[in-house]
Amino acid sequence: MLTTIKQKACYSAALYCLTFLNKTGATLTFCKGKSKEAEIKRINKELANIRSKFKGDKALDGYSKKKYVCKLLFIFLLGHDIDFGHMEAVNLLSSNRYTEKQIGYLFISVLVNSNSELIRLINNAIKNDLASRNPTFMGLALHCIANVGSREMAEAFAGEIPKILVAGDTMDSVKQSAALCLLRLYRTSPDLVPMGDWTSRVVHLLNDQHLGVVTAATSLITTLAQKNPEEFKTSVSLAVSRLSRIVTSASTDLQDYTYYFVPAPWLSVKLLRLLQCYPPPDPAVRGRLTECLETILNKAQEPPKSKKVQHSNAKNAVLFEAISLIIHHDSEPNLLVRACNQLGQFLQHRETNLRYLALESMCTLASSEFSHEAVKTHIETVINALKTERDVSVRQRAVDLLYAMCDRSNAQQIVAEMLNYLETADYSIREEIVLKVAILAEKYAVDYTWYVDTILNLIRIAGDYVSEEVWYRVIQIVINRDDVQGYAAKTVFEALQAPACHENLVKVGGYILGEFGNLIAGDPRSSPLIQFNLLHSKFHLCSVPTRALLLSTYIKFVNLFPEIKTTIQDVLRSDSQLKNADVELQQRAVEYLRLSTIASTDILATVLEEMPPFPERESSILAKLKKKKGPGTVTDLEEIKKERSSDMNGSAEPASVNASAVSTPSPSADLLGLGAAPLTNSAPPPSSSGSLLVDVFSDSASAVAPLAPGSDDNFASPDLASSEVVSEEPADTVHDADELFHKFVCKNNGVLFENQLLQIGLKSEFRQNLGRMFIFYGNKTSTQFLNFTPTVICSDDLQPSLNLQTKPVDPTVDGGAQVQQVVNIECVSDFMEAPILNIQFRYGGTFQNLSVKLPITLNKFFQPTEMSSQDFFQRWKQLSNPKQEVQNIFKAKHPMDAEITKAKIIGFGSALLEEVDPNPANFVGAGIIHTKTTQIGCLLRLEPNLQAQMYRLTLRTSKEAVSQRLCELLSEQF
């Protein structure tokens, strides 16, 4: 079979002109191999022809309709857009001829859009087919629901399908389709598929005679059980007994369900998956399950029944799933070790796929206490895989496994091998390896000199891939452990001797020598002057942030080594520093020069004191790795975290940092005032005080600590690293802005957000279902914002309802400047939530991340409607269905002023109808919400009760969700 595909396909390339004969006998010729234009021309001609047929006076019979709809599909699948024919396809659904119906359904499945008119018609046709009791038609209808799987479909059929599924007289094939169809609807809209009586009956489908029904039902039950474990608990014992019957059956017992001598592999795997939703079962069932698992492991040792790859794949698929279950239960040491041995065999299998999967599966085994040691015995094989595998994805798995199996006993070997591999590793995985090496080296360091060596090696081998987090971390550790400081200074000094060294090394070297250069200054080979000259020889090759850091190192040297003060002052005084084009460098040079000339040695010693130990906190490297790998690996990382916090010196004094102090740098501050600054390490000045030191030397929050080399820009220090982690959750900022958000419901312009750094202003206009919003970002500081990236985020629920288009803005916002961003808005259908505006930027050294709700609310798409009292009440009565009305009674939050209330109702978007309500104190409004798909008429009535200081708000619209949302929005206003 496989080879025949080849034979026949060989002439497909040779064909210049393909003639497409579909069953109807129509001919559609596509000029392949000729130019793209020719094909487009040909297709446009065909489309025009079909369009004219559909539009023609003569009504088409089902046969031709099918023919043309089929052609449209073909054209669509060739990659061209189709914007008509939907109606004809829907017509085909009601045909009695099977093939016509089938093509109709196929067209709908492939090309459906959320056109509400059509959805109604389609749902109607599906309803008829479901009721037809003809299994073939029912099957088609169910396939269609599953293929489209939209919320509308779920609304229409989620109630019906469970009934079909558990009805006694439903054909097996229909049951199968119904089970999976329900699964699809449950995945898209779980809220619309309530659990009920049917659930217990679904569980019993596991006992069904028909293996196809069991297969489909198991998928459904697995997904449902993940969310409602209690409801489906009984499925465990049923699944175990079913599994037991399968694994003990002879290969011929299951007839058609035996696949290449493997009995029902799909069903076995699904049952094993289902069991992974639950903890190990009760002892009675557990014994039987253990037998099953042992049988599966035993079978793996038997000689294969066929040489075909299908046989081995199916057999091993079951085996791997069984191992997953064993790992999931993590309670049977015997099985875990057997699983590990089995995987060990696969590590040297000639099939790449098996090696890949074995490495992957062993990663999880390594985290179990029972099998960790067994996994470790394979270390040589895994290291060998790292060196010899040809496939990068397999090597990647080997790296993962080495990382997982690493502990104190083998850390030195594994880190050495990883470093070794790093020299030749693929670019795509280098960064990850760097992070892993950095974490392992820190976690298992007994001797911190080894740690320092490892990180310096990392920088030497793969400097470009060493992220900030990694070198921040090495500095934190060196500062926190005095036993390693001298060694670190010596090692970086030696490393810097290399003629070409990576900039990251210069950064680490600059920082460490600035702090601890004195520890090696006794050696004439690394005298202060030599240290300084060595660093300064790298200066001109470095980027601005590194140079800034080096300047800070120099001023620290002034304090450490008074004997080279004049040399350093000469350097600072040179034109290339004092007149440097870069503001930051120039400022540092000027200020450091002044500081070194004016300040007394005492003051210098205080200002430039050694950095205090950093507070102990989660390594930012781990946070980064987590971010890279997603939540899947978090569990074992948390364990690492636990272990590390006990490993590391937990007694470190937290640096005195006042995080709320955000001061504005003022370059003109009077340095002479320094002497008066009451700054000591233990008593930071209050954030509001005008401490000049804060003003002069810091533009970042951590500045109250003694001046560090490069205290801002690039030395972001651990505070920032951790604030980065924290600010990943924008929840609280979003929440804070809620009040401002509500202000925008009734107005379009104003200030949306403001803090010490940034102001966000809005101006917006809306017409019908379209709108445009101008967002103004104002930098309130005098420093540039870098990497300024505002992003508008729509949640998954919101995305289909609201179309937002934004243009990127310039990533740099100068101090005091304002940039503008335009958001084009299209309301497709009614919506509840508001989009989120997320803004990220670097300010000084700090990474800033904030999120605010963007006030695009449903009422913005209101068009006011004037109407008479009579009209109003007539419509009011028409909308008397209880679902259409939403009422809210609430306490007034603001003074109850009639004029302000009127202004708010008008601002809300509806017309304010005077003299409609018989009670003149009441307010009545009317309007139409415009969305792309529909228009929704809305009536509202607000009844104030001055005595009780309460309001009653009533909304009636043709759509419940709209009434609800508008009522929520408006209730917040009074």
Partner 1 sequence: MIHFILLFSRQGKLRLQKWYTTLPDKEKKKIVREIVQIILARHQKTSSFVDWKDLKLVYKRYASLYFCCAIEDQDNELLTLEVVHRYVELLDRYFGNVCELDIIFNFEKAYFILDEFIIGGEVQDTSKRSAVKAIEDSDMLQETVEEYMNKPAF
Nearer residue to partner 1 within complex by CB, 259 or 777? 259
Measure the CA–CA gap between 870 and 874, rounded to whole angstroms: 6
Q: How far is the CB of 15 from partner 1 (least distance, A)?
A: 9
Q: How far is the CB of 84 from partner 1 (least distance, A)?
A: 16
Element (H, E) at 940: strand 935-945
Measure the CA–CA gap between 416 and 454, rounded to whole angstroms: 8
Measure the CA–CA gap between 889 and 891, rounded to whole angstroms: 7
Residue 706 DSSP class: P
Amino acid at 182: L
Q: How far is the CB of 795 from partner 1 (least distance, A)?
A: 15
Q: How far is the CB of 343 from partner 1 (least distance, A)?
A: 14
Amino acid at 171: M
Span between the terminal Cα atoms of the chain, in Å = 74
Nearer residue to partner 1 within complex by CB, 316 or 504? 316
Q: How far is the CB of 581 from partner 1 (least distance, A)?
A: 42
β-bridge pairing 923-930 and 935-945: antiparallel
Nearer residue to partner 1 within complex by CB, 324 or 368? 324
Nearer residue to partner 1 within complex by CB, 33 or 811? 33
**Closest to 785 in 3D by CA, of 728, 861, 842:** 842
**Residue 860 known to bind ligand:** no
**Residue 98 known to bind ligand:** no
Nearer residue to partner 1 within complex by CB, 365 or 940? 365
**Residue 452 known to bind ligand:** no
Measure the CA–CA gap between 459 and 468, rounded to whole angstroms: 11
| CB neighbour class for 78 (10 Å; exposed up to 12, middle 13-18, buried from 19) | exposed
Amino acid at 918: P
**Residue 8 known to bind ligand:** no
Measure the CA–CA gap between 155 and 961, rounded to whole angstroms: 14
Give the chain's length.
974
Nearer residue to partner 1 within complex by CB, 47 or 394? 394
Residue 929 in tokens = 């919400």
DSSP 3-state assignment of 827? strand
Q: How far is the CB of 649 from partner 1 (least distance, A)?
A: 37
Q: How far is the CB of 216 from partner 1 (least distance, A)?
A: 5
Amino acid at 280: P
Q: Taking the CA atoms of the chain, what radius of gyration do you get in angstroms?
A: 36
Cβ count within 10 A of residue 407? 16
Q: How far is the CB of 358 from partner 1 (least distance, A)?
A: 11
196 forms bridges with which residues in the sheet?
A: none
Nearer residue to partner 1 within complex by CB, 12 or 682? 12
Q: How far is the CB of 11 from partner 1 (least distance, A)?
A: 8
Residue 888 DSSP class: E
Number of H-type helices and E-type strands within the chain: 42, 18
Q: How far is the CB of 685 from partner 1 (least distance, A)?
A: 48
**Closest to 771 in 3D by CA, of 696, 866, 855:** 855
Residue 848 in tokens = 């800033």
Nearer residue to partner 1 within complex by CB, 391 or 523? 391
Measure the CA–CA gap between 247 and 240, rounded to whole angstroms: 11
Residue 615 DSSP class: P
User: Are the C-beta atoms of residues 138 and 129 closer than 8 Å to each other?
Assistant: yes
Contacts of residue 390, defined as CB under 8 A and 6 or more positions apart, other chains included, come to: none
Nearer residue to partner 1 within complex by CB, 188 or 935? 188
840 forms bridges with which residues in the sheet?
A: 789, 849
Q: How far is the CB of 957 from partner 1 (least distance, A)?
A: 27
Q: How far is the CB of 422 from partner 1 (least distance, A)?
A: 20
Nearer residue to partner 1 within complex by CB, 22 or 237? 22
User: Are the C-beta atoms of residues 394 and 356 closer than 8 Å to each other?
Assistant: yes
Residue 795 DSSP class: -
**Residue 63 known to bind ligand:** yes
Nearer residue to partner 1 within complex by CB, 351 or 754? 351
Element (H, E) at 850: strand 846-853
Measure the CA–CA gap between 182 and 179, rounded to whole angstroms: 5
User: Are the C-beta atoms of residues 446 and 629 closer than 8 Å to each other?
Assistant: no
Nearer residue to partner 1 within complex by CB, 175 or 941? 175
From the annotation, which residues make up the binding site? 53, 63, 67-71
